[in-house]
Amino acid sequence: MSEWLISLEGTEAGQRLAMILALTAAVLHAVFGALQKGRHDPWLSRGAIDASYSMMAAPLALLVVPWPEAHMWPIFAGAVVIHFVYKILQAMAYSRGAYTVVYPVVRGTGPLFAVVGAWLIFGEVFNAVQWLGLAVLLSGIFGLAVYNLRTITLDRETMPLALGLAVVTGLFVALYTTYDAYGIRAAADPFTFLAWFFFLDGLSILPIAGLRYRNMAARPTLGPLALRGVSGGLVAFLSFGSVMLATRLDKVGEAAVLRETSTVFAALIGWLVLKETVGPRRIALMGLIAAGAVIVELGR
């Protein structure tokens, strides 16, 4: 499968597959965010999810995929550090703000800086039509965040701090998007990068999650938490794995923009699952997000 995937790089078929993978990542990333924001403490949810996907990746990394080349170990170290900081910031933001306010800000900040990073690192350039599409998408994302901020009463006292943390988290989304694209392109076999990334990255947050669980006065039941972890681990494999493969097959900036349609799916999850209010204005803003993504693709 690795040889087939590599053969698609730079081809029209590869571009189509990258688009499908990025949109798949968008849907699954919204699910992943909701799993972390659900009824469990975000730190514990993240710890359970990371432990699950690390254990899932271990046999693949150690026994199935080719062993990483020597130059990949520093790249893995950098990826683990960047994702660790991202997880800390994300958990802090989710602990202080409503999901449908925090999530759009995190995801809206990411693609703009990812496009800039892709230009600086990979020499990728958006044309005028694609910049228009990005502007439309961002107006929908940040408009959704502003609307939610005005109408949602949950966590009002801590919302300014949550929004600040969300912006910084979005910067780290852009950083890990471009860095992971560099890493998966540096590996001879893309699945070697994915397996070892998930194996190593999943270990980083466990000490913090373990300490938080131990210090809780009322500890949650482990069964439901473990179930959330396994579910989230499977979603993480498919979500993060899909967008990483998309950045190897095609442009990093375009994959980053398409993934941020996850905000639309996140709003639907917030309405259907988390029972947060959705109205016609939010639907219109979600339409802007989708339209922006379409414009970016049509303008290539």
pLDDT in tens, 83-112: 999 988 887 887 777 776 777 777 777 777
Task: Give the span between the Cα atoms of 146 and 139, in whole angstroms.
Answer: 10
- For the chain, the average pLDDT equals 83
pLDDT band, very low/low/confident/very high, at 182 (cuts 50, 70, 90): very high
Rounded percentage of the chain residues whose pLDDT exceeds 90: 22
Boundaries of domain holding 266: 2-298
pLDDT at 69: 95
pLDDT at 4: 85
pLDDT band, very low/low/confident/very high, at 183 (cuts 50, 70, 90): very high
pLDDT band, very low/low/confident/very high, at 120 (cuts 50, 70, 90): confident
Residues in the chain: 300
Tally of domains within the chain: 1
pTM of the shown model: 0.83
CA-to-CA separations, 268 to 30, 35, 110, 275, in angstroms, rounded: 9, 14, 20, 10
The average pLDDT across 43-62 equals 91
CA-to-CA separations, 213 to 48, 131, 167, 209, 246, in angstroms, rounded: 11, 45, 27, 6, 36
Asked if 263 and 109 count as a contact pair (C-beta separation under 8 A), the reply is: no
Asked if 91 and 46 count as a contact pair (C-beta separation under 8 A), the reply is: yes
- H helix intervals, the chain: 2-7, 12-37, 42-59, 72-94, 99-122, 128-151, 159-186, 190-201, 206-215, 222-249, 252-259, 262-272, 280-298
Rounded percentage of the chain residues whose pLDDT exceeds 70: 91
Is the pLDDT at 52 greater than 60? The verdict is yes
Q: Which of 172-181, 190-199, 271-280 has the lowest mean pLDDT?
A: 271-280
CB under 8 Å to 145, separation ≥6 — which residues?
101, 104, 105, 108, 163
pLDDT band, very low/low/confident/very high, at 164 (cuts 50, 70, 90): confident
The average pLDDT across 215-219 equals 80
pLDDT at 174: 87
Task: Give the span between the Cα atoms of 93 and 222, in whole angstroms.
Answer: 24
Half-sphere exposure of 191 (CA within 13 A, CB side): 16
pLDDT digits (tens, 9 = 90+) for 268-277: 776 777 666 6
